Chain A
Amino acid sequence: MKRSSHSIFAIVIATFLLAGCEGLFLPQPASDPEAIFEDLWKSFDEAAANLEERQIDWNALYAHYRPMVTPATTDDQLFTVLTGMLAHLDDSHVSLTAPHQPYFNANRVYREQIDKDLFDLEVIRENYLGAGFTRGHRYLYGEIIGRNIGYIYFGTISAETMARLPEMLNKYPHASGYIIDLRQNNGGNHTFAFDAMGRLTDRSRYVFKSNTKNGPGRDDYSPWREWHLKPSGRYTDRPIAVLTDRYTPSAAERMVMAFKTLPNATIIGDTTSGTHGTKIPQELANGWFYALSVQKVEMFDGRSYEGIGLAPDVLIRNQKAEVRAGKDRTLEAAIDLFE
């Protein structure tokens, strides 16, 4: 009885001892201002991709900004220093979120909302689409009034929105052309786009390759992985106009890359955002959040357009006064394309 009781109690005590072993964990970053700065800088140093593509000397930025942070630095001051440093990246996948501060996006166009009012979906819905349009969360499609042209807008690249592309193609199978509007898009997952675009290609087309940081060293990346646009479903070779602007980022840009492989597609509008790698969010010891980009992407032509964006085939920018008056010059250029 004694020996068996001892066995049970030994297991019980060992269990409780292990239950109290906080020392098992790795050291956690501290929450004082200097530790916060060091943690953020080191995280970007080890995990951010595209520092070379964006011509960033991250060590030089450390030397410049680190002296501005002391143990007496306030939250407001720390936020100013960190956002000042991150702004050099000019990357819409880089952000900083803190209490009582506006959400910070490192890309100047996004942060200052430059030309944000040059696109208004309601202008399109009211003035260019016929009555039988279909609308849902982050998508809108219909037929251009008086023209045999199908139009579809995507606000995000998701399974739900991309499922509307074949819907639109089926609804207007005899259209003289299709307009695919990717302006002011939130990005998402490009695999949904590539699946939906299967009807737009008659053969497999190489679109881009990507790799992901997989270690703390500057050259620690996974092997390159190629992404192809593959045919599926009933093929259509109608002319396609793709509308883009500076707010076409991420998965939407990868979708634009796929359209660039199609001989019947024309890109109209403004240069895209230039944000191609996937992003991951992280947290700091003071409860703030940040995000960074961790992938490199090269398009089928062997070049990286990170920080540059994808230039359109036809450069057109809307005018503010015209949009207010109900006119979308970029859309009209696409409509004229099919004349």
Chain B
Amino acid sequence: MNRTSFTIIVLALMCTWEAAEAQDHRHHSITLAGGMSYLAHQDIIHTPFVHGGMSPISFEITYRREGARWVHFATGRYSAHASQVGDSFEIDHGDHGHNSLPHGFLFLDAGYGIGRTVTQGRLHRASAGLSVRADIQAAFYRFGAEENFGYFINPGLNLWYSRSNRLSPRSALRAHVEIPVVSWLARSPYLVNDDDFIENISSNDRLKTVFAFLADGSLVTWDRLQRFDAGVDYTLSLARQVSVGASYRFAFTRSTEPRALIAYRSSLHLSTTFNL
């Protein structure tokens, strides 16, 4: 599949949404969630070690629009982690010194999905559809006086399935799983920075640099990039307009080129939903 086909699919997705909108009674909601996130991340390009741990910096915002037949959602997620091998120590440069710092990992994920109700009963609803999602990971590897920048940029088209069950008149449980169909992957080069990397950062403009990194990527399918995103949400309605809840998210990534990257993130959030 080439870039043109990929673009056509995305545009078709958006046109389908527009048509669906005209025929559904809609329920809108915005959910704000925050909490803890656990990361285990091994990127052989930069280090052979598994980095990560628990972080209190994990946020998510979700907009959902549900009708009798159509569902669509937009989500944004952010989490930040710090990790290092051993403890920080002072680096002796003779006439000056400074402490070693941990590596920093930032995860930014944004997506839009549309789907249709597959089955529906009095107490349950299952939906399935397509989504476009961009996963951007920035890593700041700090090795004493030196630093590497690592990137993983992965926009793509996913299949998703969601099932919700009403547990009581005021509470519900929803599970959601998403896997990629095809995506574009841009990662740091084999040994962190090669000539293409040096040229990509030469503009000294962050946006231009990101697009330069993206341009050096390639189209990938499941054989080259394995990803799995799943989540469970519990909600309890406090009033007609407001619900509270808890959610669990799990994201798994495995890529082999140019070198192995294996990572997963588990996030536990408390949430508030505003029904519009």
Q: In the complex where A1-B124, A4-B124, A289-B100 touch, is A28 in contact with B48 (Cβ < 8 A)?
A: yes
Contact B50 A28 (CB under 8 A): yes
The segment out of B56-64, B70-78, B109-117, B197-205 that lies at the interface is B197-205
Within 8 A of A (CB), among B79-105: 84-87, 89-94, 100
Q: Which residues of A contact B173 (CB under 8 A)?
A: 8
Residues A278 and B193 in contact, CB atoms below 8 Å apart: yes
B219 in the interface, Cβ–Cβ < 8 Å?
A: no
Q: How far is the CA of A7 from the CA of B175 in the complex (A)?
A: 9
Report yes or no: B190 in contact with A213, Cβ–Cβ below 8 A. Answer: yes
Give the docked Cα–Cα distance between A285 and B42 (Å): 14
Q: Does A52 contact B (CB under 8 A)?
A: no
Tell me if A308 counts as interface (CB < 8 A to partner B). no
Size band of the interface chain A makes with B: 35 or more
Q: Does chain B have a CB within 8 A of A11?
A: yes
Interface size class of B (residues with CB under 8 A): 35 or more
Q: Is B264 an interface residue, CB under 8 A from the partner? A: yes
Cα(A289)–Cα(B48), bound, Å: 13
Give the contact stretch, choosing among A81-89, A98-106, A133-141. A98-106
Q: Which residues of B contact A282 (CB under 8 A)?
A: 47, 143
Question: Taking the complex as formed, is B69 at the interface, i.e. its CB lies under 8 A from any CB of chain A?
Answer: no
Per-residue contact bits, chain A 162-199, to B (CB 8 Å; 1 contact, 0 not): 00000000000000000000000000011110010000
Instruction: For the complex formed, measure the closest distance between the CB of B163 and the CB atoms of chain A, giving whole angstroms.
Output: 6
CA distance A47 to B42 in the complex (A): 19
- A residues near B174, Cβ cutoff 8 Å: 8
Contact of B191 among A15, A21, A195, A212 (CB under 8 A): A212
CA distance in complex: A285, B44 (Å): 14
Quick one: CB contact mask for A64-108 with B, threshold 8 Å, 1 for yes?
000000000000000000000000000000010101111100000
Q: Which of B40, B48, B100 contacts A29 (CB 8 A)?
A: B48
Is A289 a contact partner of B143 (Cβ separation < 8 A)?
Answer: yes
Asked whether A286 lies within 8 Å of B264 as measured between CB atoms, the reply is no
Besides the known contacts A102-B94, A191-B202, A280-B148, 18 further A-B residue pairs in the complex with CB atoms under 8 A apart: A1-B123, A7-B126, A8-B165, A8-B232, A11-B177, A14-B230, A21-B264, A25-B262, A26-B260, A99-B89, A101-B92, A102-B93, A103-B144, A212-B193, A212-B195, A222-B195, A285-B49, A287-B87
